[in-house]
Chains A and B, each alone.
Chain A
Amino acid sequence: MSSLAFYVHIPYCVRRCGYCDFNTYTPGELSIDLNFRDVSRSYIDLLLQEINFARQISTAEKVPTIFFGGGTPTLMEPVDLGRVVSAIGEKFDLLPNAEVTTEANPDTVTQEKLAALRTAGINRISFGMQSATPHVLDTLDRTHNPENVLKATQWAREAGFDEISVDLIYGTPGESISDWQRSIDTALSLPITHISAYALIVESGTKLGAQVKRGDIVMPDDDETADKYLLADEKFEAAGFRWYELSNWSKPGSESRHNLAYWNGDNWWGAGPGAHSHIDGRRFWNVKHPTAYAQKMANGGDPKHEEEFLTDSQKASEEIMLKIRLADGLAFDSLTPVQIDALEGFKSQGHLIEQSWSEKRAVLTRSGRLIADRIVREILL
C-alpha cells in the first residue's frame, strides 16, 4: 500500500513581505478580524472537509509526514492545527514516527504556544530567520528582531522539539559578504538540526520585483551570490551539517522527510487554497483564493482548479530535474547513454563527483550545484 504525505496550506499573514509571492493574504485584503480566532476555526473546518475528500480519492493508507506551511501557520490556534493532525490520524494511518512540521514566525511564538503545538502533535518546527543583519531584514521588509530567533529556538528546544530548522536568505541587495557571514555564524550558534538557505529570487508582481524593475534596487551580481553559496556550504559542513539537497543542510538523520517526498517523486496531498498535489503521475492544484476555496468546499468538496497527467518523458524530465539536486544524485539506470555522455563533459569540468561517477551516480560538486539548471537543460530530452 502506497503512502501519502500531507501538505497543509495556511494562507494568512499579518502583513506581506516585500519579496514574497506565495499564496497568502492579509486581514486587510480579506476584510477579516486581525486576531484570526474565528478564521482559525472556520478555515480549519474547511481543511477537515478536504481531508475527508482526500480519503475518498486516495487509495493510500500510510501517512509518513505532515507539513504546515504558509502563509503563517502559527496564526492558527494550536488546537485547530491539532484538529488537522487528528483528522489525518483518523482517516489514514499516521505512522507513529511521522514527521509533523510547522513553519513559524520567530517574532510571534511564545513558550505557551510552542508547548501547545507539541501537544497538538507537531514535532518539528521551521523558523523563518532569513538574516541576522537588521538592514538586510529591512530590505526584505521583515520586521523581526534578530535576537528573537535565539529565544524562539531555545524555547522550542525546551518545549520538546528535537527537530528545529531555520530558513536563511542570501543575496539580498545591500548584503555584504560579512553580513552573510554573520547570518551563518548566528544560525550555527542556535540549537538547531537543520538549515535551509536560499538565494533571493526576485518574483515579478512583488514589491521587490517592482523596485528592481524601476531600478530603485539593484540585484547583486550572480558571482557574488555564488561566493555566498560556497561560503555557506563550507561553514555548514564544517559545523556538521551535511548538504542533502541544493539549498538544504542537516545533522545526519535530521533531513526533512517531507521535502524529500517532493524530490523523490512520492505521492502527496496538498490541502488548502492553491495547494498542489501529486498522485502517481497526476498533478492537480486547488483554486487559489481562500474565498473561491471556501465556495468549492461548500459545493461538494472538490477544491481542484486544474490538473495535468504527466507523460513518460515529462516524468523522466522531472526525475532528472529533482534528483540531480540531491546528495544521492541521479542514478545512471534512469538515464540514456546520450544523457550520460553529456554528463561526462560536466564531470571532466569538475561539476560532478568522481567517486559517485564510478558508482554510476551523477552527484553534483559544489560548483556543479551552482549550475544545476544548466546541466539539466543540457540533458533534458
Chain B
Amino acid sequence: MPAIPLTKAPQPSQTKPEQIRNFCIIAHIDHGKSTLADRMLGITEVVELRNMRAQYLDRMDIERERGITIKSQAVRLPWRSGIDGQEYILNMIDTPGHVDFTYEVSRSLAACEGAVLLVDCAQGIEAQTLANLYLAMENNLTIIPVLNKIDLPAAQPEKFAEELAKLIGCQPEDCLRVSGKTGAGVTELLDQIVKQIPAPVGDPLAPTRALIFDSVYDTYRGVVTYVRVKDGHLSTRDQIQMFSTGVRHEMLEVGVISPEPMVSKGLGVGEVGYVITGVKDVRQSRVGDTITTYNNPTKVALSGYKDPRPMVFSGLFPLDGADFPLLREALDKLQLNDAALVYEPESSAALGFGFRCGFLGLLHMEIVRERLERESNLSLISTAPNVVYSVTTGDGKLLTVTNPSEYPDGKIEKVEEPIVRATVLAPSEFIGTIMELCQERRGILMGMDYLSEDRVEIRYTLPLAEIVFDFFDQLKSRTRGYASLDYEPIGEAEGDLVKVDILLQGEKVDAFSAIVHKDKAYAYGTMMTGKLRELIPRQQFEIPIQAAIGGRIIARESIRAIRKDVLAKCYGGDISRKRKLLEKQKEGKKRMKMVGRVEVPQEAFVAALTTDADIDKAKAKAKERE
C-alpha cells in the first residue's frame, strides 16, 4: 500500500529535505479543490474513513457554504511513491481562491516548490486561476496541470488540455486527468507530485528563517502561525523573533497538521507546520513576515513581505442604534483573525453611530459583513463602497479620502484614484458585450488573446471605483455567468471626479454622498433623487430632494406635502382595531431616522443603498433557505 501509517512515517524535524515535497493547488471556486483534497486525505489514510466529512479542511461554516476557502492551511501527508517505492512527506498547502486575497495566495505559493493547476474540464480555466497561475510561474514553481471532474458527462478534457498546454507550454497529453469525486487518477497525481516537484533546498546550519504564510486566531490557543522553514531549524527550546517588528516571543508549541494538530520537537529545512507563541492578535504574527531565532537572528529577511492595504471602504451601521457596542465587540473579535480588516468609529447624521471599515476588496467586505451578521446576530446597513482617493486641494495640500464625507469643499487641484489591471476570461461570443461594459466603465483596452478557439482573455485597465460599483454583477449577468474576472492594483491615475451630495429639505444626507466621475454625476443624482422620492413617505410639508455638486444643483425632485391621512370610518367594531393600528404605527415612527425635520424610514435607507444586484442576491439567498 502506498499509504504509510503516521507513526511509521518520517517524523517532523527528522525528515530530510530530499523526502519532502511542498505543493499547493491552484483552482477556481467550485472546480473541486476541496473534494480533491478530501480524496488525498483518504488515499494517504491520514483521515480514517469513518471520520471523513466533506470539505474536511474548510473550517468555517461560511467556507463550506460558499465553497470558498478563505484561509489557507497546510497538511502533512506521508506517501510511498508507486514509482520508486521510497517514503515521502507531501505538504499540501491550501490557497485561498479569490482575487481579494492575492497577497495571501502569493505567500502560500512562496512556501511551495510546485503547484497543481486544477481545472474543471467542463468549464475550463477562469480568470482568477489564470492570475494565480501566472503568480506561481513568476515564483518559478513547477506546475502540474490537472483536469478534474473527468467523470462528468459534460467533460471536454481534450479541449481544455489544449488550453492548459498552451498556457503553461507543455503538451496536452502531459495533463493528468482525475476525478476528485470518484478518486480516479488521484494516486497517479500523488506519484507525479513526488516525481516532478523538486525537493526543498536550504541551509540547516544558517540562522533560522521561516516564512509565515498564514496566521489564524483560535479561541483556546491564541494565534496559530503557519510557517515554512527555509533555513535553520525551529524548536520548542527557541525564543523566536519577528523580523519586521523585532518583537521576541516564547515558543509554546511547534507541530504539524496531519490533518489534526500533532505536536513535534521542531521543524527542519523544507518542513511546513505551525507554531504557537501565545500572541492574541494576528497582527503580531503577520503573513509574509520572517520568523528567526532570538539567539541567532538572520540579517536577511525572506523577500516579499507587504502590509495588507485596504482598497475598499464602506460604513457599517447597526440597524438598531443600541447594537453599536455589540458591533464594536464583533469587529474587535473578527480583527483578531483578519490582519487586513481596519475600522474606526464613524458617526453619520442619518445612520447614527457605526464604523468606517476598510477591506481588501468586495468579497472581503461581503465576508466580513456576513460574519458580523451571522456570528454576532447583528442587522447591518452598509453604505455604498468606495475606494481611496488622493485629493490635492487648491492650496496644495494632499488629502487621503476614504469617505465621501471627508472630501474637501473648497477648490480642488486634482483627484487621483486607484487603477487596476483587469483580466476577463470568457467565451468569444461575449467579446462585444464585455468591451461595451468596460468602455462604459472608463476602461482602456490593453490586449486580447485567444486561449482556445472560442475562449478569449481580454485585458483592460479600469478605475477600481468602477469595479467596486456592481461591475462584477453586470459582467456576470451580461455574459450569462460565463465570464470570470481578476484584477490587481497597478497604481493611481488622475480622474475627472466630483462629489455628489444628496440633500433632503436642504440638509445633506451623508450616507448618500458619492464620489463619481463627472460624466456620471447627473445619472447618479437623478437615480438617487428618484429612488428617494419613491421611498420617503409624504409628510406634512413639501420635501425638496436635490443632488448637488458643491453649490450647484444637478437634479431635483420633490415629495408633495401630505393632505390626507385619515380613515373615514370609526364605528363600534372599528375602535379596537383602529387603536391597535395607530399604536403600531406609532411604534414604527420610533424607528424613523430624522434628517432635519424629515422622517425617513429605515427601510428607505436600506433600499436606497441597495443595488438591484443586491436585491437579486438577497432573493436568491432567501430561496436557498426555503
Interaction A to B? yes
User: Known: A246-B568, A262-B571. Contact between A371 and B540, CB under 8 A?
Assistant: yes
Q: Which of the candidate stretches A79-87, A186-194, A314-322, A353-361 sits at the interface with the other chain?
A: A314-322
Provide the bound-state CA to CA distance between A226 and B562, in Å. Answer: 10
Q: Which of the candidate stretches B81-89, B164-172, B575-583 sits at the interface with the other chain?
A: B575-583
Return A210 CB to nearest CB of chain B, in Å. 20
Asked whether any CB of chain B lies closer than 8 Å to the CB of A223, the reply is yes
Contact with A along B567-609 (1 / 0, CB 8 A): 1111111011011001101100100000000000000000000
A322 touches B575 (CB 8 A): yes
Asked whether any CB of chain A lies closer than 8 Å to the CB of B560, the reply is yes
A interface bracket (residues with beta carbon within 8 Å of B): 35 or more
Contact with B along A370-381 (1 / 0, CB 8 A): 111110110010
CB-defined contacts of A247 to chain B, threshold 8 Å: 568-569
Asked whether any CB of chain B lies closer than 8 Å to the CB of A121, the reply is no
CB-defined contacts of A78 to chain B, threshold 8 Å: none
Provide the bound-state CA to CA distance between A51 and B210, in Å. Answer: 94
B575 touches A318 (CB 8 A): yes
Return B577 CB to nearest CB of chain A, in Å. 10
Kindly report which residue of chain B lies nearest to residue A379, judged by CB atoms: B586
Asked whether any CB of chain A lies closer than 8 Å to the CB of B564, the reply is yes
Asked whether any CB of chain B lies closer than 8 Å to the CB of A276, the reply is yes
CB-defined contacts of A223 to chain B, threshold 8 Å: 560, 563-564
A370 touches B563 (CB 8 A): yes
Asked whether any CB of chain B lies closer than 8 Å to the CB of A106, the reply is no
Return A16 CB to nearest CB of chain B, in Å. 18
Return A201 CB to nearest CB of chain B, in Å. 6
B569 touches A198 (CB 8 A): yes
Cross-interface CB contact of B572 among A225, A229, A276, A377, cutoff 8 Å: A276
Asked whether any CB of chain B lies closer than 8 Å to the CB of A59, the reply is no
CB-defined contacts of A349 to chain B, threshold 8 Å: 540
Provide the bound-state CA to CA distance between A237 and B586, in Å. Answer: 34
CB-defined contacts of B571 to chain A, threshold 8 Å: 259, 262
CB-defined contacts of A246 to chain B, threshold 8 Å: 566, 568, 570
A283 touches B563 (CB 8 A): no
B582 touches A377 (CB 8 A): yes
Kindly report which residue of chain A lies nearest to residue B578, judged by CB atoms: A321
Asked whether any CB of chain A lies closer than 8 Å to the CB of B565, the reply is yes
Contact with A along B536-572 (1 / 0, CB 8 A): 0000100000000000000000001011111111111
Cross-interface CB contact of A222 among B540, B562, B579, B585, cutoff 8 Å: B562
A372 touches B566 (CB 8 A): yes
A371 touches B572 (CB 8 A): no
Asked whether any CB of chain B lies closer than 8 Å to the CB of A274, the reply is yes
B576 touches A229 (CB 8 A): no
A377 touches B575 (CB 8 A): no
Return B533 CB to nearest CB of chain A, in Å. 15
Provide the bound-state CA to CA distance between A318 and B581, in Å. Answer: 12
Asked whether any CB of chain B lies closer than 8 Å to the CB of A53, the reply is no
The B-contacting residues of A in range 311-347, CB under 8 angstroms, are 314, 317-318, 321-322, 325
Kindly report which residue of chain B lies nearest to residue A346, judged by CB atoms: B540
A380 touches B582 (CB 8 A): yes
Contact with B along A84-106 (1 / 0, CB 8 A): 00000000000000000000000
Return B271 CB to nearest CB of chain A, in Å. 69
Contact with B along A225-251 (1 / 0, CB 8 A): 110010000000000000000110000
Return A117 CB to nearest CB of chain B, in Å. 22
Provide the bound-state CA to CA distance between A318 and B540, in Å. Answer: 23
B573 touches A371 (CB 8 A): no
User: Known: A317-B579, A377-B586, A380-B586. Contact between A370 and B570, CB under 8 A?
Assistant: no
Provide the bound-state CA to CA distance between A263 and B578, in Å. Answer: 13
Contact with B along A268-286 (1 / 0, CB 8 A): 1010001111100001010
Kindly report which residue of chain B lies nearest to residue A197, judged by CB atoms: B568
Asked whether any CB of chain B lies closer than 8 Å to the CB of A112, the reply is no
Kindly report which residue of chain B lies nearest to residue A270, judged by CB atoms: B572
CB-defined contacts of B565 to chain A, threshold 8 Å: 370-374
Asked whether any CB of chain B lies closer than 8 Å to the CB of A369, the reply is yes
CB-defined contacts of B564 to chain A, threshold 8 Å: 199, 222-223, 225-226, 229, 370-371
Cross-interface CB contact of A278 among B570, B572, B585, cutoff 8 Å: B572
Cross-interface CB contact of B567 among A201, A275, A318, A377, cutoff 8 Å: A201
Provide the bound-state CA to CA distance between A139 and B571, in Å. Answer: 25
B residues apposed to A, CB below 8 Å? 540, 560, 562-573, 575-576, 578-579, 582-583, 585-586, 589
A residues apposed to B, CB below 8 Å? 7, 197-199, 201, 222-223, 225-226, 229, 246-247, 259, 262-263, 268, 270, 274-278, 283, 285, 308, 314, 317-318, 321-322, 325, 349, 367, 369-374, 376-377, 380
**Among all A-B residue pairs, the 8 with the closest Cβ atoms:** A198-B568, A226-B563, A276-B573, A374-B565, A226-B564, A372-B566, A222-B564, A199-B568
Q: Could you list some 24 contacts between A and B, CB below 8 A?
A: A197-B568, A222-B563, A247-B568, A262-B571, A268-B572, A270-B572, A278-B572, A283-B576, A314-B579, A317-B582, A318-B579, A321-B570, A321-B582, A325-B570, A367-B563, A369-B566, A371-B564, A371-B566, A373-B565, A373-B566, A374-B566, A377-B586, A380-B582, A380-B583
